[in-house]
Amino acid sequence: MTSSIGKIMTEKLVTIAASNSAQEAAIKMKENNTSSLVVIDETNKAVGIVTERDLVTSVCVHDARSKTFKLEHIMSSPVVTIDALSSVEVAADIMTQNGVRHLLVAEDEDINKPLGIISTSDFARYLTENLEIEDSKAAILDALNKENKKNE
């Protein structure tokens, strides 16, 4: 069963300025119960994505001061986008080819017209809901999806 990304994406986009600190990003992620933020410039254009993983691998492991560590130094950039009408399979290919776990879903892949975001959690939910698989494998996917939701 093929579905478009627009049907499974998370529509809630939480943004933060590139000049904000890693600590501000962590606080915003916690307040919004999300694992990623779209980083915007002074013109509100998406210029990157910062994830919990970015905070851990770039700030925490180096014992950096999160209050002074700017997002522009750790965000993933340029933003990898996908059109909302693209298939789930195309999105998976793009994520694999670019080594990313989040894609900005935009109208006609125009970074200035963001519609949502797609993450590995969205894929796990989609697979759990749409694939006919053995009960044991379905239980594993369901557990992974619940774990991802808890960590987002």
pTM of the complete model: 0.76
pLDDT score at 103: 92
147 C-beta neighbours (distance < 10 Å), count: 12
H helix or E strand, kind and range, residue 37 = strand 36-40
Q: Half-sphere exposure of residue 87, counting CA atoms within 13 Å on the CB side?
A: 5
Tens-digit pLDDT profile for the chain (152 aa)? 457 888 889 888 999 999 999 999 999 999 999 989 999 988 888 999 999 888 888 777 666 677 777 888 888 888 899 998 998 889 988 998 998 889 999 887 666 778 899 988 888 788 777 766 555 566 666 666 665 555 55
pLDDT score at 126: 82
CATH architecture of the region 5-151: Roll (3.10)
Alpha-carbon separation of residue 18 from 26, 45, 48, 72 (angstroms): 13, 10, 8, 5
